[in-house]
Amino acid sequence: MAKKPRTSAAEQREIDPKDLSPRDRKTLGQITGLADTVVKAAASGRDPAMDIPARTLSNVRYNKTKRFIEMGAATNRRQLFNLNQAKSYMQTMLVAEGAKRLIVQGKTTSLRGMYYLLKHTIEGTREETFDDQEESDSVIEDLEVAIEALREELHVYAKNAGAMVGEITLIDSGDTIDCTRMGSGGYSIPSIVEPEVIQFAKCNAKFILHVEKDTVWRRFNEDKFWKTHKCILTHGGGQPPRGVRRLLYRMHHELDLPVYCLLDNDPWGYYIYSVIKQGSINLAYESKRMAIPDARYLGLRSKDFEECGLSNSVKIDLSDTDRKRAHQIMKYPWFAHKKPWQKEIEKLLENGFKLEVEALISKDISYVTEEYTPQRLADQDWLD
Amino acid sequence: MAKKPRTSAAEQREIDPKDLSPRDRKTLGQITGLADTVVKAAASGRDPAMDIPARTLSNVRYNKTKRFIEMGAATNRRQLFNLNQAKSYMQTMLVAEGAKRLIVQGKTTSLRGMYYLLKHTIEGTREETFDDQEESDSVIEDLEVAIEALREELHVYAKNAGAMVGEITLIDSGDTIDCTRMGSGGYSIPSIVEPEVIQFAKCNAKFILHVEKDTVWRRFNEDKFWKTHKCILTHGGGQPPRGVRRLLYRMHHELDLPVYCLLDNDPWGYYIYSVIKQGSINLAYESKRMAIPDARYLGLRSKDFEECGLSNSVKIDLSDTDRKRAHQIMKYPWFAHKKPWQKEIEKLLENGFKLEVEALISKDISYVTEEYTPQRLADQDWLD
């Protein structure tokens, strides 16, 4: 009952297909293509089925040529006339229909919004289409890999996290954003940064400095590091979300800007670098649109405690988990054959402590912006 | 050894006192005043001591006239020549010195930065000035209440959280920020929003709509609600941080804008409203600069499930903690004598379920921006 007026209201608001962006038209075509296979199968008397690429660790591999993690060819078949698969089949179709609705109305929503949009009691039963958001999140990922579209292209976004400031002017949804005039807060990097939403208008930057945390980013912004060094300054609030990774990717490739990462000297910092560089195992199918194999690791390094003459007060003991993670990361195929990286991680373990970027403040409030980073850049002293 | 060059480098960079902002000069004066009491006591042969207002639940009360939570008059004496208090006495002085250093250099830092700035091994001992950040965080709060300065006025900030968009133009650190042209990401509300950093240049807004979450905010921004309804749109990423609360306060008082809150229909939503309106128990000493007693609660309300004709699918069962919290909130002095609030919370308990704002999407993607909120505003249907 609730469904009827909703659909008709939605239909009234549909964008004329010719006014859709080329990307939206493409995504829509892919969704329609998926639906067509069902119709075709039904018409020819076969069981409707979909093949969804397997999102499992065993179906992920490091591509040495492309230098990033990618998905293998394994797929899982999802059939309508199979009791175990009928529900997930139906869920996949629902998500596809939801994405279509968003696209044709020119709207976007959050993962939680998509869950509420699609959740309802199946007619004549007490069964819910989705029991919790985890179910719909997972099916959204299925659809992404199935039709090779980013979640953001399905008009679904995650929480904004990460900010940017510096020598770049961009157009975001038609508004001109001059990142040299963004005050202390900076430009909040949205989740959807596809060319339909964000275009680069002008760029005077020579490189991108990506820092791990908001607090460190703020030190650099306050000291106008981006002005002195003609760069773009970004942070991802820890592990950078997709929007930040995708924007870094676009700026790196489209504007030809090198990316330097300033992260904590601990396994988590190494991991963040690894994700920026080679992609993540979870989102391996998106590596080709997010991974930046040429990203460089500027610091902090395990040698910095001695090189910068830091005091014992700033040491943080490694935990057992840290040690375990460090050993795992040493074995990553993209670190395993790199002597400098092996030495870096060995030295961390030998030190027995980790260091946060903020620890450099014990030298001087602006040591990180005035001495540490400029010196490392001048010396080309980084890992990659 | 590390200390000497740091101090002299810092001294070189000191801002000419006459170039400091009036607010910074005042804070500096308060810090100096604190130090003077020590010198004076020492000179007159008395034991140096400080009185720090007690930050305990028993020293907090609801002021019915001012309509917010404020601190009582109880203080704790902190003496230098008392073995139990010597360390915290020293820590308070260290934090005051750190704040002074930041102010005279015109820099700011994070809570974590302050910790690293002040942490060192006390000469000739193996004792650290601060064992962990919790210690320095707590002493920063002591100093705030002792000299009646906001943490932000001590040049210490927390993580940015929260965004703003809408019919206002402000100056942030000299940059003009037109909040009608902030794209999809919006203006990231900084932690420090004092008049020295942020000035209001132009405002065409008639009110402020504050929503709980980034995801809901985004729906309103995408639908350009702020344009249609001539308003300012903010969110605080859940419980709004000080920067967001302080900015709401300033816009409410300086620009005479009513504040409407759109929060989840659950005890957490009520609590967020309560903090915006009456201040929080933890930060009672800041209520007078943050609390907005006239803030209005627009929704979601316990009656909305029926009024909006929502489906059972969007109900989320109340947990035991939810019930307990609801009963506590009912007894808050500022809710206890308000019948509509008692009815609101009773109805929540009677319903046995809570509702998220996102649940309205099950009606239509833009139901919340096109029907729910405009109708409530038109009907003046809110709680306060």
Mean pLDDT of B207-231: 95
- Residue burial A36-61, b: 16+ Cβ < 10 Å; e: rest: eeeeebeeeeeebbbebbbbeeebbe
CA B299, CA B259: separation in Å to the nearest integer? 13
| A235's tokens | 């942070």
For residue B46, the 8-state DSSP code is P
In this predicted model, what pLDDT tens digit does every residue of A325-376 receive, in sequence order?
A: 999 999 998 899 999 999 999 999 999 999 999 999 999 999 999 999 999 9
* Closest in B9, B171, B182 to A364, CB measured: B9
* Amino acid A322: pLDDT: 96
Residues 330-359 of B with CB under 8 A from A: 356, 358-359
Q: Is B384 on the interface with A (CB under 8 A)?
A: no
For residue A9, pLDDT over 80 is answered with: no
Q: Higher-confidence residue: A190 or A135? A: A135
In this predicted model, what pLDDT tens digit does every residue of A266-300 receive, in sequence order?
A: 999 999 999 999 998 878 888 889 999 999 999 89
Residues 29-48 of A with CB under 8 A from B: none
Give burial (CB, 10 Å; 0-12/13-18/19+) of B256: exposed
ipTM over 0.85: no
| A240's tokens | 């950078």
Whether the CA torsion B2, B6, B7, B8 is positive or negative: it is: positive
Radius of gyration, CA atoms only, chain B: 23
* Amino acid B281: pLDDT: 80
Mean pLDDT of B334-352: 96
Decide if B215 and A116 are in contact by the 8 Å CB cutoff. no
Interface A:B, Cβ pairs < 8 A: 179
CA B370, CA B216: separation in Å to the nearest integer? 13
Residues 292-311 of A with CB under 8 A from B: 309, 311
* Averaged pLDDT score across all residues of chain B: 90
Local confidence band at B5 (pLDDT 50, 70, 90 cut-offs): very low
Local confidence band at A169 (pLDDT 50, 70, 90 cut-offs): very high
Mean pLDDT of B81-93: 88
Local confidence band at B161 (pLDDT 50, 70, 90 cut-offs): confident
- Give the N- to C-terminal CA distance of chain B in Å, as an integer: 59
In this predicted model, what pLDDT tens digit does every residue of A91-105 receive, in sequence order?
A: 999 999 999 999 999
- Residues in contact with A354: Cβ distance below 8 Å, sequence separation at least 6, in sequence order: A264, A265, A266, A267, A315, A316, A317, A318, A322, A348
Whether the CA torsion B134, B140, B144, B147 is positive or negative: it is: positive
For residue B10, pLDDT over 60 is answered with: no
In this predicted model, what pLDDT tens digit does every residue of B289-298 receive, in sequence order?
A: 899 999 999 9
